Amino acid sequence: VTTQAQILDLLRKIQQDKGMALLFITHDFAVVEAIADRVLVLEKGRVVEQGTAPAVLRVPREDYTRQLLAAVSAQPLVPRTQVAGPVVLKAEALGKVFRSRSGWWGRRTTQALDAVQLQLREGETLGIVGESGSGKSTLGRCLVRLLRADSGRIEWLGREVAGLSEGRLRALRSDVQMIFQDPFASLNPRQTVGQIVMTGPLVQGVSKADAERRARELLGLVGLPAAAFERFPHEFSGGQRQRIGIARALAVEPKVLIADECVSALDALIQVQILELLESLQRRFRLSIVFITHDLRVAARLCDRIAVMRQGRVVEQGETAALFADARHPYTRELLMAEAI
């Protein structure tokens, strides 16, 4: 498993060894600062600013560039205080193994989750951070029961669900909902946005009139125009599609949201808009959120507590400010150094 910093170091080494030029396309300004000699800023298909990296990053001339840079360092809307509500989600000794073929006769096993312990309180945001392959997304999918864990316990609102059949679990599904990394892939392209958001309440037995009223209200709450109800997912930008995914998750009135890298594909400005939206909705509905991300800056922006994962295990967890100020595990310190927090 390789960190972002190691990949950037590798690219720099290859560039120096081969004398190559490198065109690096990204929305991540930390990466720009780490690797770029010159920077070109695009807005709606137009080059709005370009120059040396120090000039663009330190003394930007254009408003759009300044907005992007400001978004990177955006702080929480409300100072975070310790959450002391009841536990709404708990994992105990959670384990998951993936098995696959290796050659003609061999089999390979991967310990994706190994004795994971964590809990989430009402109104709290718990960040799950770690590099690619650390088990973050597998943990999220097990917590929401899209994957069945091989061992351990999962509790939703005090009820054990890890061993429940799909039939018995169906009645509880509305309590815990997921926001996916790729909103386009998770939205049915043949349904209108209104139909997508209405599906959950209709399955629960809500009348069509009430489901439509709820869908229209939620689309407004997530910042989409009334006309969005009749349109299709492909007609929206990535940030707007993520808003649709949030509205769909909220339509069944969950107590817990599990957000899996839900801003990783968005630029800094749109990231901040989605994070501010989540904060606003959390306060309005008293939501509890498991926020899965590889970006420690985003975790610092949103999360009350952070659990750090490596190779399927939670190696450290604690309150966000304390963890950033005094990380105890060497891997956590390595991540913080790689992100230059």
Q: Tens digits of per-residue pLDDT, 109-127?
A: 889 999 999 999 999 999 9
Q: Which amino acid is at 284?
A: R
Question: Residue 176: beta bridge partners?
Answer: 256
The fold for domain 121-147+159-339 equals Rossmann fold (3.40.50)
Rounded distance between C-alpha atoms, residue 32 and residue 281, angstroms? 32
Rounded distance between C-alpha atoms, residue 291 and residue 249, angstroms? 14
Neighbours of 47 (CB within 10 A): 9
Rounded distance between C-alpha atoms, residue 249 and residue 277, angstroms? 14
Rounded distance between C-alpha atoms, residue 52 and residue 37, angstroms? 6
Sign of the CA dihedral with 61 first, then 67, 72, and 76 last: positive
Neighbours of 274 (CB within 10 A): 24
Tell me which DSSP letter residue 117 carries: E
Q: Which amino acid is at 290?
A: V
Rounded distance between C-alpha atoms, residue 247 and residue 161, angstroms? 25
C-alpha dist (Å) from residue 303 to 79, 151, 193, 275, 340: 11, 28, 29, 10, 18
The predicted pLDDT at position 154 comes to 96
Phi, psi of 205 (to 5 degrees): 100, 5
Rounded distance between C-alpha atoms, residue 129 and residue 293, angstroms? 5
The predicted pLDDT at position 339 comes to 65
Structural contact between residues 212 and 251, judged by C-beta atoms closer than 8 angstroms:
no
Phi, psi of 285 (to 5 degrees): -110, 5
Q: Which of 108, 107, 257 has its CA nearest to residue 178?
A: 257
The pLDDT mean for the chain works out to 88
Outline which parts of the chain fall under CATH 3.40.50.300. 121-147+159-339
What's the whole-model pTM score? 0.82
* CB burial string 150-159: b at 16+ within 10 A, e below: eebebbbbee
C-alpha dist (Å) from residue 119 to 86, 125, 193, 195, 289: 10, 11, 33, 34, 11
Rounded distance between C-alpha atoms, residue 69 and residue 55, angstroms? 13
Structural contact between residues 245 and 265, judged by C-beta atoms closer than 8 angstroms:
no
The predicted pLDDT at position 305 comes to 93
Structural contact between residues 314 and 94, judged by C-beta atoms closer than 8 angstroms:
no
Q: Which residues does 112 contact at the CB level (< 8 Å), separation at least 6?
A: 96, 97, 98, 135, 138, 312
269's tokens: 């400005």
Torsion angle of the four alpha carbons 206, 210, 212, 215, in this order, in degrees rounded to the nearest 10: -80
4's tokens: 């972002």
Task: Count the residues in the chain.
Answer: 341
Phi, psi of 165 (to 5 degrees): -70, 160
Low-confidence ranges of the chain (pLDDT < 70): 1-3, 72-82, 339-341
**98: Cα separation from own chain's centroid:** 23
Q: Which amino acid is at 130?
A: G
The predicted pLDDT at position 74 comes to 56
